[in-house]
């Protein structure tokens, strides 16, 4: 057993940069948020049955995005997100939306949309780090704003229409 002076925090081998990174690495946090978002989408697919297939496609997109970052593959298509985001632009006050809605799915959608914003933050931050910039390039980023919009628009729709999930 190592003595206290020999103890160190664990590290991981980052395949994006081919370096050994600490667990407080920004790239590690990006993937952590991605996993939280995938879990949120999974719950939404079980609760919001009318949109279950869309949430599954969003999870597939997140998986393909991660693969493209790590394995330096081409960016995944986000056209289905663009299609889902088409229509009237309706962003409103998030807190007012939550207060007017009696549907708990709306709050879960707001959480998921907020996680996408977190992913966007960490993506850009990683893209500015030369070690990770090749994986976190602007091309791969393009679908994330549409993912956020789709989740936001769905939350607005459910909060106004009292649509059953």
Tens digit of pLDDT for each residue in 12-63? 787 787 778 777 788 889 999 999 999 999 999 999 999 999 999 999 999 9
Torsion angle, alpha carbons of 129, 120, 59, 100, to 10: 160
In the three-class reduction of DSSP (H, G, I as helix; E, B as strand; rest coil), residue 142 is classed as coil
Distance CA 46, CA 29 (A): 26
State pTM to two decimals: 0.88
pLDDT class of 67 with cuts at 50, 70, 90: very high
């Amino acid at each position: 057993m190592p003595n206290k002076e020999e103890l160190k925090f664990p590290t991981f081998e980052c395949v994006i940069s081919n370096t050994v990174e600490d667990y407080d690495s920004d790239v590690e946090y990006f993937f952590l948020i991605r996993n939280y978002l995938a879990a949120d989408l999974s719950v939404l697919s079980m609760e919001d049955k009318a949109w279950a297939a869309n949430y599954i496609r969003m999870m597939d997109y997140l998986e393909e995005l991660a693969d493209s970052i790590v394995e330096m593959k081409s960016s995944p298509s986000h056209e289905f997100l663009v299609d889902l985001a088409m229509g009237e632009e309706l962003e409103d006050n998030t807190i007012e939306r939550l207060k007017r809605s009696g549907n708990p799915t709306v709050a879960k959608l707001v959480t998921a949309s907020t996680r996408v914003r977190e992913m966007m933050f960490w993506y850009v931050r990683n893209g500015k780090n030369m070690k990770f910039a090749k994986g976190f390039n602007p091309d791969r980023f393009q679908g994330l704003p549409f993912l956020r919009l789709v989740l936001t628009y769905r939350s607005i729709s459910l909060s106004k229409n009292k649509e059953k999930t």
